[in-house]
């Protein structure tokens, strides 16, 4: 690990000033410390933000608000979260391990970096780690890689389960930086790789995530998260699906579907949602709608199975949500 300094900050203003001078924010550190030890990340200074008052979890008028420093485990266990947004609790508990969930913050979870093996291998080509060096995954071992939103430069999936749930639920994020505060949909945090995969997100220099706002809608109690993977816990998704259904008088009035493990960012499925509106919540109708998920999908040498697995995962997630309406 390269040497670095650690600044302990007591206020948001102090944090933003320290980060403006080149420091990297650190909270749980579960991704960053690992990558620093591998020397994939080499920050010369860290800004420890754990003393900031951003650990709140509360229900406001029309939204569940989750502070950036709340830990995955405490959000997942929070009674209000489980009551109004069970999808968030389920997505969190299906991620990482109990130890990591005690450590990892919500802000850090959303900012975690990709799990492509070549990204971590310093002697492999990786446009994300070393712009212009090429992509070893496209001709290499790519069974876990994306089929949506890929480019000639990168096909790594975004690994966060929480982000998939939040994108499905139209959550927004509040951030503060040297130029002040702003708020935007979480889907807009993530960039497509295109020809610049090293640019992963849209935060401006020194911007600090304050909290996440998730609109509360009565039908969100139907939300389910299905994660398909190589073992039944403590593993990243091959394909995952978040599904929420609003069914009234036996007909789907609204649907929210987003997927993980398939896109270079959390992937909302508007065509699937549109195809469900006005339909009866039957398996056949779910299958027909889910078939829209693979529009524009492109497989690499090792991940063609995801084109079959994706609609099936969505179908099952919709069935699970349908059982709760």
Partner 1 sequence: MTEKDTDSSPETGSDAAISRRDVLIVTGASIASAGIGGHGANAASSVANIEAPTAQSAKVRLSVNGVSHLLEIDNRQSILDVLRERLQLTGTKKGCNQGACGACTVHLDGKRVNSCLTLAVMHDGAAITTIEGLKQGDTLHPLQAAFVEHEGFQCGYCTSGQIMSGLACITEEHAQSVDDIRFWMSGNICRCGAYPGICAAVRATAQDA
Tell which one of 11, 13, 21, 37 touches partner 1 (CB under 8 A).
37
Tell which one of 11, 62, 99, 179 touches partner 1 (CB under 8 A).
99
How far, in Å, CA of 50 to CA of 28, rounded? 8
How far, in Å, CA of 170 to CA of 147, rounded? 23
303 is a site residue for partner 1 (CB under 8 A): no
- Of 33 and 65, the one with the shorter C-beta distance to partner 1 is 33
- Of 32 and 255, the one with the shorter C-beta distance to partner 1 is 32
96 is a site residue for partner 1 (CB under 8 A): yes
Contact 12, 50 (CB under 8 A): no
How far, in Å, CA of 109 to CA of 63, rounded? 20
Segment contacting partner 1 by CB under 8 A, of 46-54, 105-113, 253-261, 263-271 = 46-54
Segment contacting partner 1 by CB under 8 A, of 93-101, 248-256, 258-266, 276-284 = 93-101
Q: DSSP 3-state assignment of 224?
A: strand
228 is a site residue for partner 1 (CB under 8 A): no
10 is a site residue for partner 1 (CB under 8 A): no
Cβ neighbours for 190, distance < 8 A, ≥ 6 positions apart: 158, 163, 200, 201, 202, 265, 266
- Of 102 and 279, the one with the shorter C-beta distance to partner 1 is 102
Cβ neighbours for 180, distance < 8 A, ≥ 6 positions apart: none
Residue 294: CB minimum distance to partner 1, A: 31
Which residues on neighbouring strands pair with residue 318, listed in sequence order?
none
- Of 100 and 203, the one with the shorter C-beta distance to partner 1 is 100
Q: Look at the chain and count its residues.
A: 325
Cβ neighbours for 50, distance < 8 A, ≥ 6 positions apart: 27, 69
- Of 25 and 286, the one with the shorter C-beta distance to partner 1 is 25
42 is a site residue for partner 1 (CB under 8 A): no
- Of 73 and 257, the one with the shorter C-beta distance to partner 1 is 73
62 is a site residue for partner 1 (CB under 8 A): no
Residue 29: CB minimum distance to partner 1, A: 6
**What 8-state DSSP symbol labels residue 16?**
H
Q: Where are the beta strands (DSSP E) in the chain?
A: 5-8, 24-26, 45-48, 57-59, 63-67, 172-177, 180-185, 208-215, 224-228, 239-248, 251-260, 267-268
Q: CA angle, corner 22, sides to 16 and 26, nearest 5?
A: 65
Which of 163, 171, 148, 90 is closest to 271 using CA atoms? Answer: 148
230 is a site residue for partner 1 (CB under 8 A): no
102 is a site residue for partner 1 (CB under 8 A): yes
- Beta strands 45-48 and 5-8, pairing class: parallel
122 is a site residue for partner 1 (CB under 8 A): no
88 is a site residue for partner 1 (CB under 8 A): no
11 is a site residue for partner 1 (CB under 8 A): no
100 is a site residue for partner 1 (CB under 8 A): yes
- Of 27 and 209, the one with the shorter C-beta distance to partner 1 is 27
Segment contacting partner 1 by CB under 8 A, of 1-9, 190-198, 263-271, 298-306 = 1-9
103 is a site residue for partner 1 (CB under 8 A): yes
How far, in Å, CA of 228 to CA of 296, rounded? 22
50 is a site residue for partner 1 (CB under 8 A): yes
Binding residues among 162-191 for partner 1 as defined by CB under 8 A? none
Q: Which residues bind partner 1 (CB under 8 A)?
A: 1, 3-6, 26, 29-30, 33-34, 37-38, 46, 48, 50, 73, 96-100, 102-103, 232-234
């Amino acid at each position: 690990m390269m040497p670095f300094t650690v600044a302990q900050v007591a206020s948001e203003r102090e944090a933003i000033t320290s980060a403006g001078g080149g420091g990297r924010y650190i909270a749980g550190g579960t991704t960053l410390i690992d990558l620093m030890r591998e020397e994939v990340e080499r920050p010369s200074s860290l800004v420890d933000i754990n003393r900031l008052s951003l650990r709140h979890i509360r229900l406001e008028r029309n939204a569940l608000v989750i502070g950036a420093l709340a830990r995955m485990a405490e959000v997942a266990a929070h009674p209000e979260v489980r009551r109004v947004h069970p999808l968030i609790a389920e997505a969190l508990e299906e991620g990482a391990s109990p130890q990591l969930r005690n450590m990892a913050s919500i802000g850090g979870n959303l900012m975690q970096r990709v799990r492509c093996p070549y990204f971590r291998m310093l002697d492999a080509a990786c446009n994300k780690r070393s712009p212009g060096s090429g992509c070893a995954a496209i001709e290499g071992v790519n069974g876990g890689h994306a089929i949506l939103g890929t480019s000639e430069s990168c096909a790594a999936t975004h690994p966060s389960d929480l982000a998939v749930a939040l994108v499905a639920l139209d959550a927004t994020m509040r951030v503060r930086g040297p130029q002040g505060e702003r708020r935007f949909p979480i889907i807009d945090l993530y960039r497509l790789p295109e020809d610049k995969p090293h640019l992963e997100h849209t935060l401006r220099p020194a911007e600090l995530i304050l909290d996440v706002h998730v609109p509360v809608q009565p039908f969100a109690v139907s939300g389910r998260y299905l994660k398909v993977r190589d073992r039944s816990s403590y593993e990243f998704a091959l394909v995952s699906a978040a599904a929420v259904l609003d069914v009234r008088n036996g007909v789907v009035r609204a649907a929210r579907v987003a997927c993980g493990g398939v896109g270079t960012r959390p992937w909302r499925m508007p065509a699937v949602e549109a195809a469900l509106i006005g339909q009866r919540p039957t398996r056949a109708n779910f299958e027909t709608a889910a078939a829209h998920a693979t529009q524009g999908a492109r497989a690499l040498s090792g991940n063609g199975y995801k084109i079959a697995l994706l609609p099936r995962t969505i179908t099952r997630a919709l069935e699970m949500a349908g059982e709760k309406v």
